[in-house]
Amino acid sequence: MAQTAGRRYIKAFVSGFFVAVPVTVTVLDRLAYVARVEGASMQPSLNPDGVSSSDVVLLNRWSVRKYQVQRGDIVSVVTPKNPKQKIIKRVIALEGDFIKTLGYKNRYLRVPDGHLWIEGDHHGNSFDSNTFGPVSLGLLHGRASHIIWPPNRWQRIKPSVPPNREPLLNWGGSSEDEEK
């Protein structure tokens, strides 16, 4: 009789496992997942203590499913240079915005339709749009909504654009310049 109860327990566990795993994977793939932020490119917003500790963030996938992001959001994107690598950067400009770049081949740029301009907060140590240009919205992977580790840094991440990185409102270029 003990074997029968044990077998029922194992059978229930295995069947529950085979239901729970695909559901969990689907939820994490569609809704949110966690990611460890490595490096100094987002300092001081993320990893303020340097290489001694890494922040872990909650990446909200649901909120970007229709490519709805705003200036100042911290997002995860597939890097245009390596489809196997994801990077976390701040959205500086949206499609149609005019910006002054920080070393890109064009000093001033209109962000093309269907693209974002992303930058790390630590400009001297960031692989971002100033290196590879505007990023296609199709490479958007998630929006960082909360810092969940370490516990002393638990917080909601609020969108903010550094004051000196706001898009240009009155660029004054001609329509011919916009096409370039």
- Considering only the C-alpha atoms of the chain, give the largest distance between any 2 of them, rounded to a whole number of Å: 86
Q: Which of 45, 52, 53, 89 is catalytic?
A: 89
Between CA 37 and CA 28 the distance in angstroms is 18
CB-CB contact of 93 with 99 (8 Å): yes
CB-CB contact of 76 with 88 (8 Å): yes
Q: Which of 34, 36, 46, 11 is nearest to 142 (CA)?
A: 34
Q: Which of 41, 76, 126, 129 is catalytic?
A: 41
Between CA 114 and CA 111 the distance in angstroms is 9
CB-CB contact of 130 with 119 (8 Å): yes
Catalytic annotation present for 89: yes
Which residues are annotated as catalytic?
41, 89
